[in-house]
């Protein structure tokens, strides 16, 4: 059993303060008998957040910042022909224009249903197809595109950009110029689209752009894949800076999945923050180590602060 927990730590002052109020007995019990064996990530400015690196590593993928082929994986799961194509995920989004920067709001706040998503997809399709892109509608929040420029193009994960100034996360490679131009054209087209007029009248955010992520070609695994489960209940409150809800989600995680994992002799746990992901595994210990571990238990918050 291998559990991956994204957004287990916090970098903001409010988040770190909330972390100190947490009592997580099952996580502490689990960490007392596991050993940190592997760490991934660098800092909070990497294009791929640590939890995506951890999941990619579990799948045996080669790891490259900003070039984990999530779009190709989604295309394969959707039954599309993946081979011989470089893919990217285009997520319909709302970009909020502030006084000095543009912020990407959480796509979940759009409440975009399939019908409206398909309507907007068809509205922009020709902009892409005239430039040689293949475009595929998969879900309300997932449009997939193919084009040679996605081969080797590093793109930032949505989880890096939500709630933040987009300028720092836009691809800056020369090959991305076409993508930037398309983004501008899509924004102009959607600005006057009747569906957005209707959304504004209903008090909903407009869909005024897209975010490109998960780019690259599907690659054969370089390591054996291992089964892993992702519990992402901490994601939404962390991205929304709702630290009371984040603490509540942590308590539920500790009382549920982590309590079950703590009773499993072969449990593995990967805790992921914004900078690093650390994998904990069982390791053989002497009788003395097992006895003293119960008296030297490290607070769970110490492990979470290191993420």
**Pair 75, 181 in one domain:** yes
- How many domains does the chain contain in total? 2
Q: What is the pLDDT along the chain (307 residues), one digit of tens a residue?
A: 899 999 999 999 999 999 998 999 999 999 988 989 989 999 999 999 999 999 999 999 999 999 999 999 999 999 999 988 999 999 999 999 887 889 999 999 999 999 999 999 999 999 999 999 999 999 999 999 999 999 989 999 999 999 999 988 988 777 789 999 999 999 999 999 999 999 999 999 999 999 999 999 998 888 888 899 999 999 999 999 999 999 999 999 999 999 999 888 889 999 999 999 999 998 765 554 555 555 556 688 888 999 8
Taking the CA atoms of 133, 137, 141 and 142 in sequence, report the sign of the dihedral they define: negative
Q: Indicate whether 305 belongs to any domain.
A: yes
250 belongs to a structural domain? no
- Judge whether 192 and 71 are in contact, CB under 8 Å: no
Confidence (pLDDT) at 253: 97
* CA–centroid distance for 66 within its chain: 11
What is the predicted pLDDT for the residue at 63? 92
Distance CA 2, CA 22 (A): 23
Same structural domain, 74 and 206? yes
**Burial class for 132, CB neighbours closer than 10 Å (0-12, 13-18, 19+):** exposed
In a domain, 147, yes or no: yes
Same domain, yes or no: 27 and 98: no
- Say how far apart CA 138 and CA 140 lie, in whole Å: 7
On whether both 33 and 79 belong to a single domain, the answer is no
Looking at 201, 216, 231, the residue that finishes a domain is: 216
What's the domain range around 170? 70-216
Domain shared by 76 and 177, yes or no: yes
Q: Are 107 and 154 in the same domain? A: yes
Query: Given 216, 251, 268, which residue is the final one in a domain?
Result: 216
Give the integer Cα–Cα distance in Å for 65 and 206.
Answer: 31
C-alpha angle with apex 219: 218 to 222, nearest 5 degrees?
Answer: 150
Q: What is the predicted pLDDT for the residue at 224? A: 82
Q: How many Å apart are CA 92 and CA 73, to the nearest integer?
A: 19
Is 148 inside a domain boundary? yes
Could you say which of 188, 216, 244 is where a domain stops? Answer: 216
């Amino acid at each position: 059993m291998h559990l991956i927990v994204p957004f287990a730590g916090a970098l903001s002052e409010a988040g770190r303060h909330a972390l100190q109020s947490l009592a997580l007995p099952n996580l502490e019990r689990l960490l007392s008998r596991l050993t940190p064996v592997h760490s991934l990530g660098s800092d909070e400015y990497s294009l791929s957040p640590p939890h995506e690196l951890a999941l990619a590593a579990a799948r045996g993928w080669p790891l490259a910042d900003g070039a984990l082929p999530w779009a190709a994986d989604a295309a394969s799961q959707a039954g599309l022909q993946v081979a011989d194509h470089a893919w990217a995920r285009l997520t319909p989004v709302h970009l909020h224009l502030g006084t000095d920067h543009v912020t990407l709001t959480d796509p979940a706040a759009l409440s975009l249903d399939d019908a409206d998503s398909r309507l907007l997809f068809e509205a922009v399709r020709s902009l892409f197809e005239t430039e040689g892109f293949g475009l595929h509608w998969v879900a309300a929040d997932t449009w997939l595109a193919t084009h040679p420029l996605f081969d080797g193009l590093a793109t930032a994960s949505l989880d890096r950009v939500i709630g933040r100034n987009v300028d720092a996360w836009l691809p800056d490679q020369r090959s991305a110029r076409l993508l930037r131009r398309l983004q501008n054209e899509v924004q102009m087209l959607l600005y006057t689209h009747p569906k957005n007029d209707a959304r504004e009248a209903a008090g909903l955010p407009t869909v005024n752009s897209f975010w490109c992520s998960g780019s690259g070609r599907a690659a054969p695994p370089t390591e054996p894949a291992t089964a892993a489960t992702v519990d992402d209940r901490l994601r939404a409150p962390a991205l929304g800076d709702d630290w009371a809800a984040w603490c509540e989600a942590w308590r539920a995680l500790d009382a549920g999945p982590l309590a079950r994992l703590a009773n499993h002799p072969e449990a593995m746990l990967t805790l992921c923050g914004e900078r690093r992901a650390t994998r904990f595994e069982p390791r053989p210990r002497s009788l003395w180590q097992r006895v003293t571990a119960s008296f030297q238990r490290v607070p769970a918050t110490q492990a979470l602060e290191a993420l």
